[in-house]
Structures are given as structure tokens and as C-alpha cells.
Amino acid sequence: MALATLKRLINSSTAVAVLFMLLLASLYLLSGSTHDSILFGRLYSVLLVINLAAIFLLLVLIGNNLYQLVRQYRARVTGSRLTARLVVLFIILSVTPVSVVYYFSLEFLKRGIDSWFDVRVEDALKDALELSQASLGIRMHELLRETEQVAAQLHAVPDELMALTLNDQRSKSGMAELTVFSASGRIIAASSKETAGLVPQRLSDSTYLRIHQGQPDVGLIPISDKELSIRIAVALQPHHPVNEKRILQALYDIPERINVLADSVQSAFGDYNELAYLRIPLKYSFILTLSLVLLLSILTAIWAAFFYARRMVAPITDLVEGTQAVAAGNYDKRLPLPGGDELGLLVLSFNQMTQKIAMANDAAKQSQQLMEQQNAYLEVVLAHLSSGVLTFDNKHRLHSSNTAAGHILNLGLQGFQGQTLQAVSLAVPQLQPLSDVISKHLQAHTQEWRDEVTLFGPGGRQVLMCRGTPLPHTITLQGGHVVVFDDITNLLQAQRNAAWGEVARRLAHEIKNPLTPIQLSAERLRRKYLDAMDADDAEVLDRSTHTIVQQVETLKEMVKAFSDYARMPALQLQPVDLNTIVAEVSELYHDDETGVRITIQRDSGMPLIEADPGRLRQLLHNLIKNGIEAMPDERTAHLTLTTHCVKDDKCRYIELRIEDNGPGIPEQLFEQLFEPYVTTKPKGSGLGLAIVKKIVEEHGGIIRAENLPRGGASVILRLPVTALSPDTETNPNPDSELENNSNAAA
Amino acid sequence: MRQAARSTGIGLLFAALLLPQSGFGAEFIVRSVATELKDDVYQLNARIDYTFSEEAQRALQSGIPLIILMDIQVDKQRSWWWNKEVAHLQQGYLLIYHALTKKYIINNLNSGAQQNHKSFTAALQTLGQITGLPLIDKGLIEADARYQIHLRVYLDIESLPAPMRPLAWLSSDWRLSSDWYTWPLQP
């Protein structure tokens, strides 16, 4: 907490400025104190320590910054390279001029201080001092003689009168002070110019020594800071040899003028001497101060370089990171504003840019979502459309298709996406007619067209009703074409069946009516005229009438069958086991004298189906009869009936397969095999398979025929399993499912 | 102010301890200290040997004034706590060489008294003789308590001209000081 506060303080530029000002102030004081001013002089050592501490602090800060920068540089942190370059640049820019100035300042300093000193000045000062000393020496010599004269007069003076005599002598000679000491240093008498009772100057040990050696002691003594006096001590010869030796000390004032001159010489000499002594320390001191100034400046500059490089690089680093974030797809990145300068403007622009990108991105996402929803909606609609839909681009390549198209064409159309119609029809030849029709209209740029196309596939004939129209120009399609088509085979079949039914009913009605009168008339003719005729004529009549009656009978049978086809009674559905019915019906043919062999292969797991058992028997009869009649020789006929339960993942239905060993179905007949009055047999009415197909379709099933590879034909019919069977699953819409399967089978 | 300067001085002293020593033999030694009771005032008599380094003598002869300080401290001894300072006094002596008269002048900074000496040795001898320095009034001394007196003398580096100070702090030529001399106060 405290550390964070400290860090913030150190990092704030105000603190930096304050610190720098303080350092400058301390440096100023330091340089001032070198000039020996009294206040600064006292602070000198403190200031020195403060500055050294500041240098140490700066070194620690710079070391820390450097360590962090090196670590970031090695870790390749964003912005560290730029920071390092800026720091190096700042340091070079600041250190170089300062170092040059330092070098020359140092030279000037050394020479400046040396230039203060001059040998001639020094000699002159020494000479002046000696001159002063010599001049004062002459004066002292004179005063010594004077003192000795006074001493000569004093030696006979008794102690009691000594003080008076001293006073007298002192005032006569103009001495400042006159004192008589005993040999032990005791003051015997004294006289002083100063009336205030000052203690007279005591004798020093050296004076005693000289007096004992029998020499006078003459000396110049500094009284106070600027005053000099001459002191002379001489021995007083004792009046009696028994008396102890005494010492006379005389102090003379020096005239004011000489005092001033002597002081001037002394102080000049003293100052010069002191300065000469301080020459080296002064140099060191100035160099120290200068070096401190330099060090502090350089270190502060280096630190400031780190500080400002970081501050300058921070928004750039932010921008780099922001740009990377935007490149990575994060458009919510907002950068802090560094200030009001150009960088601030840049960051502001960046923020606005990312905001706009984010908005545009959102809008794009929304519209994409909307489009996807619309696409999904369209896809669902198309998928549930029973009509097949194909779209083509402007290069006539297949662009998209719906599921119904695939079902109708019995193809996986996904594999053909992006291919031209020609390529599709090459891969699937039976689509050639469809491809031809569509290509024709695409190339002719027909606006709206309608066409009927007949395809021949393995599943049989398919009639498609196609409608086409060009698509408007869009970015993705650029003017394509859409083709919608329906399988109208069943519709046409139903129409044809209905027409046939109507014709049959009318024909039956119209033919049946005159048949009975014809028959009755033929019988009356025979009865009336047979007996009356001769034998030859009677035979003719008999044969003719017999033929008429017989043919009418046949005709009646035919009409009945005809009307049966047209008018079948309503279905009576009930749960039926197909295996049982197959067994019952085939049993009837077992004892046939014709020698037909029937083999049954039953699937034991067959579920019950919902069907009309009567119709199913009729269906089986027809099929078996049809199979037998197809044989050139009935005695060699061999039929195989197979029941089979087909389980798909979605629906379940049963399959009945009837195979014969006949010549197979002629190719040209395949198309209309199950239509009425189509037959190859001389005896058949041509309605057998038509009735079979009708029954199958009434039960919601499908039927198809195929030739077997080993010879013979096979008729396969499939009937849906209803929910009645307990072991079958509920199939809510078996018909539609079967539709799918029928297509698949076709 | 002087206190602050002294604390920084101590800092520099630590730094100086790491530097090679020179000027061996230049030191101040307190030889003897005695107190006597005179007119209800304890007076101090002491003898101190001053030996100056050549560098210091050269500086003095070049006219640099030297200040020698004497710290005297009277402590009341307490067995259960730190000693209590009863009195503290500092005596200062200014030593100057007067070139014109070729005299060494000792100036007592406390009393202002001035003494002149022809030789440096004589001056040092005078400086080393402390006689009858009034220390503490008898009334301030409790009869049943025990007291200790601490004394030391040293050259005041902070009073040297500023340019000399950094070097002086670092040089043993200038760090002239006696150890603390301790003796009991005899009533």
C-alpha cells in the first residue's frame, strides 16, 4: 500500500520536478559553501551527504529501471524496443554535451585556481612581512635601551616607593604598562595607562628563561585581533647582593598608523598563505562540486529518459496491443486517452474506429443472421415442397436443389452441385430428355415456360411437368434460373384409368343390351326352323345358331369382365396374414392336371397387414394365372412365390415376389405392362395385370415387374404394414412413406 | 546546526574507517583528570597531551585557524535506568599562528582570554594544562548519588574551511580526537 503510494509519487511528474528543484537548490548551496560563506559553510558537509544520498537514490532507481527494461526487452514485451531506443537516444543527447562542458569546465577550473597564485606576489608579501618585522625590530631596539635606562633608575628604589616611581617613569616615557615582578613571578608593583584595574600581563616561561640567561626578552605581541604591542622584559640589578633578582616588564603601544600597516601586511600575508595552502583542497572541492553537479544532472537526465520514454511509449504500446486485439477480432477494445496531443488524437481516432468497426460488425452479424434465418425458412419450405426445385446460375450450372427433386429424379443431387446439365446427363443418361428441355430454355432465355418431359429410368416411365423462370439478378446468382417440376405420371395414369373405366361401363351397357335379344332370336330361329328343314340345312342352322349363342355367351363374359374392371366393390379391410392367403391360393393349383409346380418361400416373421382378403386372393389368382399363361407349355411351368418382410429404418412393408421360368416380358411391353388390354397372350383379356395393379394401389402398395437375369419374369409388389399388427410400430402415414419407397424402387 | 553537522560527520567517519590509515602517532590523550571543591563549585584540573599531525601543523603555520573542542559531561549513575545527564559543557580553543609576530595564539572561545606563545610546543603545553575550570555547582549534586564525569577533546573538522572538510573527514591526519575519559566525581 505504502509502496504503491511511494511508486505513484515517484512516477508523478510533479514529484520529479520538485525533487529536481530541491537537488538544484542543494547544489547551489554546495557551490556557495565552497566560497566560504558562513551560513553555507556550516551546511557544507550536510549538503554533501544529501547530494551523495540523492546520487545513490538515483542510481538505485536507474538500476531498477534498467533491470526491468532488460527483462522486458528479453521477454519481447510490446513497446520495450521503442523504450530502449528512446532511452539510449535521450541519454546520448543529454550526456554528450554535459560531458563536453564538464571537461572544459574542469580545465578552466584548474587553470583559474592556479592563476590566483604568483611567485612574485608571494615573494613581495614575504618581503613586506620581513620589512615590517625589521622596522618593528628597530623600534624594539630603541625601546629596549629606553627600558634599560628606566631599569637603571629603578634598581635603587625601595619596594614601598616602587609603585609611585613606576607611575612616574611610565608617564614620562609614554609606556602602556610597567610592571616589576619578583623572581618567582609575583607582581611587586605595576603601573598601567588604563585606569580600570586590569591585571597586568604575566611573564611567560620563555621570558624567565631568557632573563635567567642574562638576556633581555624583547617581543612583539598581538594584544587583540588587530592590535600589536611591544613587550620588553629586563632584569633589575638588586640593590643589595642579598636581595633577590627582579624583573621589569614594559609594554609599549605601537602608533596607530604603524598598527594599521602591520595589520594590513599580516592579514594579506595570512590570507595569501591560507589560500596557497588551500589551493589543492579548493581544487578538489570545486571538482567535487562540479562532479556532483554533473553526476546528478546526468543521472537525473537518465532517469528522466526512462520516465519520459515510458510515458511516451505507453500510448504507442496501447495502440499496438489495441491493433493486435482488433486484428484478432476483439472490437470492444478501448484505449485510455494519454492527453490532448497528437498521440491523444490518434488514440481517440483508434477508439472511434474500433467502435465503428464493432457497430458495423454487429450489423453484419445481424444481417447475416437474418439471411441465415431466411435461408433456413426457404430451405424448410423447399424441403417440404412436393415439387422438385432446381436452380441454375448464369453459367447454367446446378446451384441448388430441394429434397423432392432428388426423390422425383431418384438421384442424390448434392453430388452434382456446380456441374452443368450436360455433365449431369452424361453421368445419368436417363436424365437426357430433362436436360435437353431445360438447356433449350436456358439458352433461349425464355421468360416463363412450361413443358412436359418423359423420362425412362429403371423404375419405368416418368412424366414430369416442368415450369421455369429466370431469377432476378442477385450478388450470389447474377441471374440464374429456377425450374420447378412435378411427377405427373400417376396423375396421367389415374386420368387414363378413369377414362378407361367410363368407356368400359358405357361399352358394357351398350353391348350387353342387344346381346340377350340376339341370343333369344338365335334360339327361336333354331327351335322353329330346325325340325322343318332338311338335314343339310338343319345342320347349317344348328351350327350357326350354336355359334351365335356361344359367341353371345362369350361376349357376355367379356362385357362382365369389362364392367368388373370398371366397377369394383368397396374394400373390406381386415387384418390378414399374407402367408396364409398365399398358402390357400397356391393349394388350389397343386392338384391341377396341368402339372404346374409352385414353390413357396415364406418369411416366418411376417406381420399382419390390413387388407381385403378376397381381393388379395383375386390378385394372387391373377398373378399365378398370368404366370402360367405366359408359358409356352403349361406343363413345364414353375412358379416361385416369396414373401419377405422388409424393414427399413423408417417404415416397414411386406414384399411378395412371383417369379416364373417363362420367356420374360418383351422390352416394348414394359411401359404399359399394367395397363388394360395390353397382352401378348392369345387367350388373355388383357385385364389381368391391370386388375392386379388396381388392387395393389387400392391397398396403398406399389407393383413393378422385371426380367430375371437367368430368364423368366418377376413381379414384385409391396404392401404397407399397418398399425394393427401388435409387433409393428405405428406408421401414421404409410402411403407417403411408401411413395418414397416406390420411387426408390422405381 | 553543529549537532547535525556532527551526525553527518559520524557518517563520514564510518566511511573513513574503511580507508587506509596514515599519520599514525597524531592523537590526543587525556593523561589525568581531577576535581576539587572550591567555594562550593567543583573545579576541574586536567592534563592532556596534544600531538598534531604534520599536515595539521603545516595548515596551522599557513594561517588556517584550528579549533579544539573539549566535551565534558556529568552523568548521574542510575542502577535501574540509563544514566542521567546532569551537566554538559563544551570548551573551545582557537589556535592561530600570527605570522608577523611569529607567535602561536590560543584563544579561549568561552572566556575570550588570549595567550601568545613563541613556539608550538609551548602553546600545546599551555593548551594541555586545564586548571580550575568551574564544572558544576555543589547544589546540583545530590549527596547520596554517584556521579561520573566524561571528558574528551577533539579537533573540530566542521570549523575548518569548507574546501578542506571532505578530505579532512576521510584523512586520519585530521581526525584528531581523544577517547572518552571517565572518572567518578569525588566530593
Three-class secondary structure assignment of A13-75? HHHHHHHHHHHHHHHHHHHHHHCCCHHHHHHHHHHHHHHHHHHHHHHHHHHHHHHHHHHHHHC
Contacts of A252 in chain B (CB under 8 A): none
Contacts of A220 in chain B (CB under 8 A): 100-101, 103
Rounded CA gap, A148 and A141, in Å?
Answer: 11
Residues 6+ apart with CB under 8 A from A608: A575, A576, A577, A721, A722, A724, A725
User: Cβ separation of B100 and A265 shorter than 8 Å?
Assistant: yes
Nearest alpha carbon to residue A337 among A351, A317, A323, A356: A351
Average pLDDT of span B68-93: 88
Residue A634 DSSP label: G
CA distances from A453 to A406, A621, A674 (A): 16, 36, 21
Min Cα separation B59/chain A (Å): 7
User: Cβ separation of A282 and B163 shorter than 8 Å?
Assistant: yes
Q: Supply the pLDDT for residue A421.
A: 84
Q: Nearest Cβ partner of B165 from A45, A221, A274?
A: A45
Rg of chain A taking only CA atoms, in angstroms: 72
Which residue matches cell numbers 508523478?
A: A12
DSSP string, B39-73: TTEEEEEEEEEE---HHHHHHHHTT--EEEEEEEE
Residues 6+ apart with CB under 8 A from A651: A720, A731, A734, A737, A738, A741
Q: Supply the pLDDT for residue B151.
A: 92
User: Cβ separation of B117 and A44 shorter than 8 Å?
Assistant: no
Residues 6+ apart with CB under 8 A from A131: A265
Q: Nearest Cβ partner of B99 from A49, A269, A288?
A: A269
For residue A478 the three cell numbers come to 447474377
Angle (deg, nearest 10), helices A119-154 and A159-173: 140
Residues 6+ apart with CB under 8 A from A292: A27, A30, A48, A51, A52, A55
Question: What residue numbers bound the domain in which B99 lies?
Answer: 2-176
Contacts of B163 in chain A (CB under 8 A): 34, 36, 278, 281-282, 284-286
Q: Which residues pair with A466 in a beta bridge?
A: A451, A485
Q: Nearest Cβ partner of B118 from A41, A206, A286?
A: A206
Nearest alpha carbon to residue B124 among B183, B66, B55: B66
User: Cβ separation of A42 and B158 shorter than 8 Å?
Assistant: yes
User: Cβ separation of B64 and A277 shorter than 8 Å?
Assistant: yes
User: Cβ separation of A277 and B100 shorter than 8 Å?
Assistant: no
Q: Is the pLDDT of residue B2 over 50?
A: no
CA dihedral of residues B78, B84, B86, B90 (deg, nearest 10): 130
Nearest alpha carbon to residue B51 among B22, B23, B28: B28
Angle (deg, nearest 10), helices A256-327 and A13-34: 160
Q: Which residues of B touch A (CB under 8 A)?
A: 1-2, 4-5, 8-9, 11-12, 58-59, 62-64, 98-101, 103, 105, 114, 116-119, 122, 158, 161-167, 169
Amino acid at A231: R
Which residue matches cell numbers 599551555?
A: B126
Rounded CA gap, A387 and A428, in Å?
Answer: 20
Chain B interface includes A167 (CB < 8 A)? no
Is residue B81 within 8 Å of B173, Cβ to Cβ? Answer: no
Is residue A685 within 8 Å of A679, Cβ to Cβ? Answer: yes
Q: Is the pLDDT of residue B23 over 70?
A: no
Rounded CA gap, A281 and B170, in Å?
Answer: 13
C-alpha neighbours within 13 Å on the C-beta side of residue A658: 26
For residue A16 the three cell numbers come to 520529479
User: Cβ separation of A205 and B122 shorter than 8 Å?
Assistant: yes
Number of domains in chain B: 1
Phi then psi dihedrals of residue A443, to 5 deg? -70, -30
User: Cβ separation of B162 and A36 shorter than 8 Å?
Assistant: yes
Min Cα separation A102/chain B (Å): 20
A702 burial via Cβ count (<10 Å: 0-12, 13-18, 19+): buried
Is residue A669 within 8 Å of A680, Cβ to Cβ? Answer: yes
Angle (deg, nearest 10), helices A13-34 and A38-74: 140
Chain A interface, best mutation among B12, B100, B165, by max A CB count within 10 A: B100
Positions in chain A whose pLDDT score sits under 50: 1, 649-650, 724-746
Identify the closest residue of chain B to A220 by CA–CA distance.
B101
DSSP string, A172-199: HHT-SEEEEEETTS-EEEEEES--S-PP
Rounded CA gap, A742 and B180, in Å?
Answer: 126
Rounded CA gap, A619 and B98, in Å?
Answer: 159
Rounded CA gap, A287 and A106, in Å?
Answer: 7
DSSP string, A571-603: P--EEE-HHHHHHHHHHHHHT-TT--EEEEE--
A409-440 b/e with 16+ CB inside 10 Å = b? bbbebeebeeebbeebbeebebbbebbebbbe
Neighbours of A594 (CB within 10 A): 11
Neighbours of A301 (CB within 10 A): 16
C-alpha neighbours within 13 Å on the C-beta side of residue A391: 16
Q: Is the pLDDT of residue B4 over 50?
A: no
CA distances from B187 to A27, B10, B30, B130 (A): 53, 35, 21, 19
Residue numbers of A between 201 and 220 with CB closer than 8 Å to B: 204-206, 219-220
User: Cβ separation of B8 and A45 shorter than 8 Å?
Assistant: yes
User: Cβ separation of B63 and A132 shorter than 8 Å?
Assistant: no
Rounded CA gap, A674 and A704, in Å?
Answer: 9
Q: Which residues pair with A318 in a beta bridge?
A: none
Rounded CA gap, A82 and A89, in Å?
Answer: 10
Chain B interface includes A49 (CB < 8 A)? yes
Where does A138-254 sit in CATH, by number?
Answer: 3.30.450.20
User: Cβ separation of A222 and B12 shorter than 8 Å?
Assistant: no
Q: Supply the pLDDT for residue A728.
A: 40
Interface size A-B, in CB pairs within 8 Å, comes to: 106
Q: Is the pLDDT of residue B16 over 90?
A: no
Identify the closest residue of chain B to A134 by CA–CA distance.
B100
What are the structural domain ranges in chain A?
16-115+273-307, 138-254, 385-487, 494-566, 574-745
Residue numbers of A between 86 and 145 with CB closer than 8 Å to B: 129, 132-133
For residue B43 the three cell numbers come to 573545579
User: Cβ separation of A46 and B8 shorter than 8 Å?
Assistant: yes
Q: Nearest Cβ partner of B62 from A33, A205, A276?
A: A276
Rg of chain B taking only CA atoms, in angstroms: 18
A641-665 b/e with 16+ CB inside 10 Å = b? bbbbbeeeeebbbbbbebbbbbebb
Is there a domain that residue B75 lies in? yes
CA distances from A674 to A456, A477, B22, B107 (A): 16, 44, 137, 153
User: Cβ separation of A220 and B100 shorter than 8 Å?
Assistant: yes
Longest dimension (CA), chain A: 245
Identify the closest residue of chain B to A40 by CA–CA distance.
B162
Fold equal for A138-254 and A574-745: no
Please report the sign of the dihedral spanned by the C-alpha atoms of residue A399, residue A404, residue A410, residue A411. positive
Phi then psi dihedrals of residue A469, to 5 deg? -155, 145
Contacts of A129 in chain B (CB under 8 A): 99-100
The CATH class for the domain spanning A385-487 reads alpha beta
Angle at A90 between CA A84 and CA A95, to 5 degrees: 125
User: Cβ separation of B161 and A36 shorter than 8 Å?
Assistant: yes
Min Cα separation B82/chain A (Å): 30
Is there a domain that residue B181 lies in? no
A574-745 fold: Heat Shock Protein 90 (3.30.565)
